[in-house]
Amino acid sequence: MRNTRLPSTSLPPTGSLIDGSWTDSQDSFEVHDKFTGEAIAVVSSATRDHVARAVRIAKTAVDAGAPAPFDRSVTLRRAAELLETQRARFVDAMTTEAGFTLVDAHTEVDRAKVTLTLCANEATQLTGEMVPFAASPGAHRRLGFTQRFPVGVVCAITPFNSPLNTVLHKVAPAYAAGNAVVLKPSAFTPLTSALLGEVLLEAGMPAPFLSILQGEGETVGTWLLEENDVAFYTFTGSTRVGKIIQRAAGLRRTQMELGSIASTFVAADADLDRAIPKIANAGLRKAGQVCTSVQRLYVDARVATEVAERLVEFAGTLVAGDPRDPATRVGPLITEQAAIRAETWIREAASAGAQVLCGGTRRRSVIDPVIMKDVPEEGRVWCQEAFAPLIALRPFDDFDAALASANSTPFGLAAGIFTQDIDRALKAAATLRFGTVQINETSSARSDVMPFGGVKDSGFGKEGPHYAMREMTEERLVVFNP
């Protein structure tokens, strides 16, 4: 097995960041290369005292007041510039600890720069609204307006499948709005967050306004839920963990981006030359480990055979394997256990009558891209979130029934439809109970400027800098009565 250890010059700090210093403890965990399984780093876990101290420092900082909005904007712009100068280190870290292909890792850096720039813009645009008191008899002389103030200490708990951009979708809006942030990144991908911490401090973010606490959710995550000075929890992850956080938060505010079974529709009049590459990439990129990955694909029966054949052909061009190979388009799953789980689900579906049109071979943590059809209704690849490189195709004759099927899951994060019929598109938008409905796009299309969030068991609240900053602030009404 070849050595995949990050060069010592690229290895970021392997402790927790508190008040500008990297802190170690006696407890630690290994970080593994997701393709080879080799241990590449040993990271020190935060202790209970570290958690309490980080939150206390953050609370003191935000009570004293954040830098002025323009200064926060300058810091975030500078961070975007530094991200570019450190691109190679971030790409190395993400290909190793997250298993990202080179394409996915570079895309992650590109999007992160956009997110930082958007937050820099919003930092100086965060204003309230005028209140039209003239609508109330006798109140026309009153002058009323709202202002927005930081909510306080924001705790960000982030996933492995977007270790840079999703982290910044929480940290950057929080700071842009004047909050202090305590970040607990995924224990699968701690090194990318440590690199980001270095960049943010170098860019000028005051040390008390950023803590990074490394460790497992069962320990560090639980301790963070016990800290009453945390005013806001922002979380991306499973619905099960989201419910735990929500119960602990009580009346404190939260933003939850949780589980999903994403659906995309292909009508008979769809432009397949446009749709097929989008669907394949959306279902298989990042090894399918995206909450909006195309998992359920509903296809009009009149074009179902052609769509299946073209998807199989396209999937065959996607090399699965070593994420450092420039030819690779589908990298490993986050662990070999995750790959074994996906393999088991695929075999179960096949045993129950599903047709595996291509893929499914597993090599350690890598699974060749899978296109399936005729998956049983009760099959786990159909009714549970797969988080694997597979697309399950189901033909339909009744469009209304297909919409109802997509709505039948407990989740509602994102959906997409390809059609040239405006009436059909508008019906889908009005009927599908999802946080986002994309027309002539897949469920997985996302621009970092847009509001992003789900309904039902997929959570609530919005990401996207403009929207997240309003979630992370308190609105106060000011009224003058001459």
Instruction: List residues with catalytic annotation.
Output: 257, 291
Q: Cα separation of 403 and 417, whole Å? A: 11
Stated as kind and residue range, the H or E segment containing 276 is: helix 272-284
CA-to-CA distance for 176 and 20, rounded, in angstroms? Answer: 19
CB atoms within 10 A of CB 267: 22
Q: Which tokens sit at 291?
A: 């909450």
Q: Name which of 96, 90, 223, 86 is nearest 157 in CA terms.
A: 223
Q: First vs last Cα of the chain: how many Å apart?
A: 78
Phi, psi dihedral angles at 374 (to 5 degrees) = 60, 40
Using DSSP's 3-state secondary structure scheme, residue 235 falls into strand
Phi (first) and psi of residue 396, to 5 degrees? -140, 145
Instruction: Determine the Cα–Cα distance for residues 403 and 265; give it in Å rounded to an integer.
Output: 9
Residue whose pair of structure tokens reads 């889908």 in the numeric block: 428
Q: Residue 257's closest CA among 417, 380, 412, 389? A: 412
Query: Nearest-CA neighbor of 417 among 314, 274, 288, 284?
Result: 274
Q: What pairing do the DSSP bridges indicate for beta strands 210-212 and 180-184?
A: parallel
